[in-house]
Structure 1
């Protein structure tokens, strides 16, 4: 007859020391900040990248993500400028027919030339406009020959306004205006999609309130 091996008695566990460190909770990912939220909305139906001037002394883009204008903004501008050309030409032709006076072609010609030049450079000019959401401010840049870069601190913002005309609403775009205490630092971002304008407005208001309360 085989005798089974004797099992050792269970060892009692030591009582937990009152000064022992508690178990660490599970680590979670850091929450998304307000400036990082909704970046997909800001980049919907926009151009893929911002274009820089070719001159050697151009203002550099720097680091960070640049958001661009909606593609529909160029279409709205082209339609508006083409309408100006048609109206000015029609008025000049009408005056010529009814009065037989050719002087109206001098101002009409100037308007037509300037508008035609704007019609040609609008697509390139729109691609040079962009904005960047940084930790403490919003940076806005525009221009090809005359470049402008403005940094608007979140804590200085007093008003965030969204406006759009009938043609803008038809193409689903709007412009967002940032008003600060200093008028020279105000920024107007044209040609945002309606969703991007609303998302950017809510984000800027939330961040501005945080900066003002010092949280």
Structure 2
């Protein structure tokens, strides 16, 4: 079954561990804000015990998210074949997207403020069919640029009548 989502005949490239750090920081900020708001609102309306309980629940949710984010980051990988790009990710719900180079219409590279601060970027491939669009988060900017240029060149060279 593993070979269905991660063929062994290719060399897989994992994404940067910095992706987990960015996502954990975002989850920590979100959980902290939700916990503080719930603490104040519940504390002032129904009692401080309920506010503290809500804060503990928010902290437990953050701990759970910490574990899941690490597992998710380790599941992301991509491989370049002669005619197609493979992107695989997911632990419980696994997904493998195969994008033929000739079907690519354009390639995006994006990086938000936290991603730029941590030195990572996301490459997104677009095709005529949204179901075959793929993205690869957590790439070093040099690798994202190299991948963007290579995919664009291969897409143009192998265009299938688009």
TM-score by length of 2: 0.85
Per-residue CA shift, 1:165-191, capped at 9, x if unaligned?
A: 111110111111111010011111111
User: Cα gap change, 1:96/1:173 in structure 2, threshold over 3 Å: closer, same or farther?
Assistant: same
Query: Structure 1 stretch 111-120 or stretch 195-204: which is displaced more?
Result: 111-120
Unpaired segments of 5 or more residues in structure 2?
A: none
Higher helix share: 2
Higher strand share: 2
Over the aligned positions, Cα root-mean-square deviation in angstroms equals 2.7
Equivalent residue for 2:122, pick from 153, 175, 180: 175
What is the distance in 2 between the residues matched to 1:112 and 1:186?
Answer: 35
TM-score by length of 1: 0.65
SS where residue 212 of structure 1 aligns? Answer: coil
User: Cα gap change, 1:209/1:107 in structure 2, threshold over 3 Å: closer, same or farther?
Assistant: farther
Larger Rg: 1
User: Cα gap change, 1:212/1:58 in structure 2, threshold over 3 Å: closer, same or farther?
Assistant: closer
Residue 100 (structure 1) aligned with residue 46 (structure 2): yes
Equivalent residue for 1:162, pick from 109, 113, 137: 109
Residue 77 (structure 1) aligned with residue 23 (structure 2): yes
